[in-house]
Amino acid sequence: MQQWRTSIERRLTLAEVWICLVSARILLAVVPFQRLMRFVSKPTRRTELSGPERLRKRNQVRRAIFEMRQRLGDQTTCLHRAIAAQIMLRRRSISTTLYFGAAKVPGQGLSAHAWVQDGEEGVVGYRETKRNRYYIVATYPDGQQGTSFLQKSVPQQTFHPQSFYQQIGGGDGQAGDDADIWKDADGNTTPETHMGHAQL
């Protein structure tokens, strides 16, 4: 009986992941970016889960998103999965932080990435931040930052989230050397200059 219940719960969670991924893709196309991010990053209104139950729910969502990623392949991006994870965890009374980051990857140029953390615990997309030294360029909710995978935030930059999403929308975070993600006070858009300033 317990095995049957576990199987049903798994199937329902996978269906929820699929719905959230499709919803994320549609919403990113039709809803202003900042408005969407403010909505998906709202903290839960219910009492936050804690202890073993929080860990169990978090792992349940993590495994389901990973399994769906294996099934869908390149049909989803890191941003789709991050949004899905944040929505699903909020439904389970777990408030999380969605991160946008950038790194200079040898041989690949500027790499953009989105991931989710529960405090300092990674949920989805966090393994990539271990492989490469990503710098935070934006967080949702704003200002909520863990410290386990990041060195520091990118200093003195103006972040343009819509440009960022356009760069990572076609793949899993690879933006290329000509990515128009950064702008300084003079409106310049030369990522190589800013990468040097940020010591990436």
> From CA 52, how far away is CA 55, in angstroms rounded?
5
SS3 104: strand
Give the per-residue pLDDT at 6: 75
> From CA 197, how far away is CA 199, in angstroms rounded?
5
The domain containing residue 158 runs over which residues? Answer: 2-198
- pLDDT, one tens digit per residue, over 87-125 is 999 999 999 999 988 888 777 777 788 999 999 899 999
Say yes or no to pLDDT of 182 above 80.
Answer: no
- Length of the chain as a residue count: 200
Q: Which residues, including other chains, have CB under 8 Å from residue 171's CB and lie 6 or more apart?
A: 74, 77
**Average of pLDDT values for 7-26?**
92
**Average of pLDDT values for 24-51?**
89
Q: Which residues, including other chains, have CB under 8 Å from residue 82's CB and lie 6 or more apart?
A: 98, 99, 114, 115, 116, 124, 125
Q: Which helix (H) or strand (E) holds 13?
A: helix 2-30
Would you put residue 14 in left (φ > 0), alpha (ψ -120 to 50) or beta?
alpha
SS3 105: strand
Say yes or no to pLDDT of 130 above 90.
Answer: no
**Average of pLDDT values for 71-83?**
89
Residue 196's nearest CA partner among 161, 154, 148 is: 154
Say yes or no to pLDDT of 198 above 60.
Answer: no
Higher pLDDT, residue 37 or 142? 37
Mean pLDDT of the chain: 75
Q: Which amino acid is at 121?
A: E
> From CA 168, how far away is CA 61, in angstroms rounded?
23
Higher pLDDT, residue 88 or 159? 88
Tell me what percent of the residues of the chain surpass a pLDDT of 90.
38
Give the per-residue pLDDT at 44: 84
SS3 64: helix
> From CA 193, how far away is CA 158, in angstroms rounded?
14
**Average of pLDDT values for 160-184?**
45
Say yes or no to pLDDT of 53 above 60.
Answer: yes
Q: Which amino acid is at 68?
A: M
Confidence class for position 61, pLDDT limits 50, 70, 90: very high
Domains held by the chain: number: 1
> From CA 147, how far away is CA 157, in angstroms rounded?
20
